[in-house]
Amino acid sequence: MGISIRSIDKSFDDFKALKNVSLEIKQGELVALLGPSGSGKTTLLRIIAGVEKPDQGSVLFFNEEIKDLSLSERKVGFVFQHYALFKHMTVFENVAFGLSVRPRKMRPSKEEIKKKVHELLALVQLERFLNRYPSELSGGQRQRVALARALAIEPKVLLLDEPFGALDAKVRKELRAWLRRLHDELHITSVFVTHDVEEALELADRVVVINEGKIEQVGKPEEVYHDPSNPFVYHFLGNVNLFHCRVEDGKAFIGNMPLALPSHVSPDAKSARIYIRPHLFEVEKTASGNQSFKGTIKYLNPAGPIVKIEMISEWGDLINVEIPIGQYYELEIKKGDVVYVRPKEMKFFSDDYAI
C-alpha cells in the first residue's frame, strides 16, 4: 500500500476538521481529494505531508509509520496552489534547492546537480527558462517549476494542494492533461486536492469525495459519478433535478405519476427523494408511455454543443434538461412549447438523509 491513513481526527479549536478518516492509497495511484471548501480535504493533505499533526490516528507510507518523522525527513513532494517558489532564486536555483541543501556527504556534485536540474526542466518543458526569476514566468510555468522542484528530491509521494486553482481555464485544462501524462510516465504515488469536479473526474485514478470532515465516497471517477452513494455526492458531482415524492402502496408518486420503488427504499417510508441528472431525460413532443413529465419550456439556451432547457412541470416543479444540439434541431422546439420529458435513469434516496 502506498499511503495508509488510519482513523485520523483533527480539530482546530472547536471546529472538527476531520472525523475518523481512514483511506488507503495504492502505490503509483493518482488520487483526488474532492470536496467543497471547508470540507477538510486540504487538512487531510497537510496531515499526509506532515505540515499538520493529527489529534488521533496515524499515517503510513509504504507500511511504515511516519508520525515521528519531521517534514524534512518524510521525502514528500508538496506543491502549493500559489506555487511558493523562492522569489529571489532563479528557476535553476529553485529546482536545485532540494539537492543543494543536503548534507555534504549526501550531496551530489555540482555537475550532477546541474545534469539533474536540466533533466527535470526538460521534463516540465522549461529548459529555456533556466535563468529566469519566478516573477518573469506565467502562472502555468511557475506551477511546472514548482513541480520540477518537488520532483528533484525523488519524493516517495507527491502531494498537490489545488495545483491548478490559480490558473485560468484554458491553461488549467492543458496542465491537467500534461500532469496526467507525467504521472503515467513516472508512476509516483500522488494525491491532489481540488474542488473542481471536472478536474477530479478527468485526472484521477480514484476520487475521494469529502464533506464536513468525513469521506462520503471513494471510487473510480465513473463510479462516483454514475453511482453516487448518497445525495451529497449526487449533488456535488453535477447538476441535478430533485423531486420529492410520496410513497403509497409500495410505489412512489411524483404528482400522480406512479414509479416503481427500488429495493433500498423501505416501502414503509412516507416519502423519498428522486434525483435525475439533466442530461438523462428523453425529450418528446408527444408522450410515449406513462412515465413522462409534462411541462412548458420557460427558457432555452442553444449556444454551445449542449442545449440547456428550463421547464415547469404540470405540478409546478422546475426541471432542468440538457440535450445535444442535434436533437434540438430535430425536435424544433422553442420557448413556450409544451413537451414531455421521460427520465432514462433515476436515483432514489430515503428522505431521512440530511445534507
Partner 1 sequence: MGGTIGLRTQSKDVVANISITEPPFVRWILIGVALIFLTIFLLFPILIVVVSALSKGIGFYAQALTDPVAMSAVRLTLFVVAIAVPMNLIFGLAAAWSISKFNFWGKKFLLTLIDLPFTVSPVISGLIYVLLFGAQGVLGPLLQAHNIKIIFAVPGIVLATIFVTFPFVARELIPVMESQGNEEEISALTLGASGWQTFWKVTLPNIKWGLLYGVILSSARAMGEFGAVSVVSGHIRGLTNTIPLHVEILYNEYNFTAAFAVASLLMLLALVTVVLKSWLESGETQPK
Contact residues for partner 1 (CB under 8 A)? Answer: 49-51, 70-72, 74-78, 80, 82, 84-88, 97-98, 101-102, 133, 135, 146, 149-150, 152-153
Closer Cβ to partner 1, 70 or 286, answer by number: 70
20 vs 6: CA distance, rounded Å: 8
Please report which residue ranges of the chain form alpha helices under DSSP H.
Answer: 41-49, 91-100, 110-123, 139-151, 169-186, 197-203, 221-226, 231-236, 325-331
Q: How far apart are CA 347 and CA 229, in angstroms?
A: 10
| CB closer to partner 1, 85 vs 339 | 85
Strand partners, 284: 340
- 347 touches 228 (CB < 8 A): yes
How far apart (Å, rounded) are the C-alpha atoms in residues 239 and 246? 23
CB 211 within 8 A of CB 35: yes
84 vs 300 by CB, closer to partner 1: 84
Task: Give 134 or 295: the residue with its C-beta nearer to partner 1.
Answer: 134
Cα separation, 160 vs 41, in Å, equals: 11
45, three cell numbers: 493533505
When the beta carbons of 90 and 271 are compared against partner 1, the nearer one is: 90
Question: Of 49 and 193, which has the nearer Cβ to partner 1?
Answer: 49
Cell of 89: 532564486
Residue closer to partner 1 (CB basis): 97 or 253: 97
How far apart are alpha carbons 69 and 230 in whole angstroms?
A: 37
Kindly report the number of other CB atoms within 10 A of residue 5's CB atom.
22
Distance CA 196, CA 236 (A): 10
CB of 238 to partner 1, least distance (A): 32
d(C-alpha 206, C-alpha 209), whole Å: 10
Shortest Å distance, C-beta 95 to partner 1: 10
